[in-house]
Amino acid sequence: MAAGTRTERLEARVTPELKALLVRAAELQGTSLSDFITRHIGQAAMSTIREHERLELDTQEREVFIEALLHPPEPNEHLQNAAAQYRATMGG
């Protein structure tokens, strides 16, 4: 996570038990409660985003994808024309 100037503020209501747990964990890592929370919520946020952005296929979708990779369809006329135009323009 990129370090930068902290200009935004977050607030959260927690139970006394959770706060005590967070304070203890921060102390064990030798960091402030704010730094501890910021570091860990940032990591949790990145993990959540990665999990939701990852491509997951079920068995049938995976088989269709692999089949398309192994046996791609022949290019249609539109694709052949686009490729010819690209080669003419780009000199390939």
Task: List, for residues 55-89, the tens digit of each pLDDT value.
Answer: 788 899 999 999 999 999 999 999 999 999 999 99
Task: Name which of 41, 11, 35 is nearest 23 in CA terms.
Answer: 35
Task: Name which of 47, 49, 37 is nearest 29 in CA terms.
Answer: 37
Give the phi and the psi of residue 40 in degrees, each rounded to 5. -75, -35
Domain boundaries, the chain: 16-90
pLDDT tens for each residue of 1-52: 556 788 899 899 999 999 999 999 999 999 999 999 999 999 999 999 998 8
Where helices occur in 29-71 by DSSP H, the ranges are 33-53, 59-70
Could you tell me the pTM of the whole model? 0.54
